[in-house]
Amino acid sequence: MRLITKYKLVCTLAIILLTSIFSIGMQNIRIIDASHIASSIVARIVSSSAGAEGFIVTTLVFCLIPFLLSFSFAQKKLILTSFIVVLACAFGIKTTLKTTFEAPRPFVEELVNLGSISTSTEFYQLSDPEKLKVIDDVSLNVDKWRLQEWLDGSDYSFPSGHMLFAVVVTIFWAPVLIIKRYYCLAAMSVIWASGVGASRLWLGMHRLEDLYASIVIALILCMLAPKITRMYWNKFEFLHRTKSHSPNVASPW
């Protein structure tokens, strides 16, 4: 248990470090710019892997890990149930915080600077068709990949749902891969999560503090994952059995 906790912390620190490095490299990049099309295409693809377009596929791919490794059937149930619960908690927390803080996205503030709207508050008071019209009015100044992201994500900024999903997935599964000595796959997962964060910055959807908040939330949830699993197992699996006949199921962690 201590070893897996250590690996979770190591993965978290690596994600923070890489995300910070990526953000430094983008300090002088303006989101109102149509001259970096190739980078925007890559950012859009990476972002989509953790968004509405690809998160189901990404989730299913990572959920294959316990089936490909030497886990017993009981351990598979434990770890997959825990993962699903953690993801559900992450989604609920993200939704609650977005509606509580109502932080405008960076691209909305750029629209204010361009004079398309008077204030960021005004943007969020518009109807969906009106939001789309405001965004479309700057289409000549923005590459279509960023523009499409803006059209799809006209809600609030804090925290980043994409980053929260990517970091939960990575902090949950990368330590398992490390324990099983799949170091390259674990490293790829960390790089992918950091890339998701960088893509959200590049596309003008989030600030660095949104990403950091998502990382912290993901770490807390993943640290609680073993306890969540044990609670589930004790309540639903052993409820009908006497203590003397309960199987001794080793934790996948």
State how far the Cα of 79 lies from the Cα of 64, in Å rounded to an integer.
11
Q: What is the pLDDT of residue 243?
A: 43
Q: Can you read off the two tokens belonging to residue 84?
A: 């699903």
State how far the Cα of 250 lies from the Cα of 74, in Å rounded to an integer.
9
With a CB cutoff of 8 Å and minimum separation 6, the contacts of 202 are 26, 29, 31, 39, 40, 43
* Residue-wise pLDDT tens digits, 19-33: 999 999 888 788 887
The 3-state secondary structure of 156-184 reads CCCCCHHHHHHHHHHHHHHHHHHHCCCHH
- Amino acid identity, position 53: E
* Residue-wise pLDDT tens digits, 139-162: 888 888 998 898 887 789 999 999
**Dihedral, 30, 34, 39, 45 alpha carbons, nearest 10:** 110
The full set of domain ranges for the chain reads 2-27+52-70+84-103+156-239
* Residue-wise pLDDT tens digits, 89-109: 999 999 999 999 999 999 999
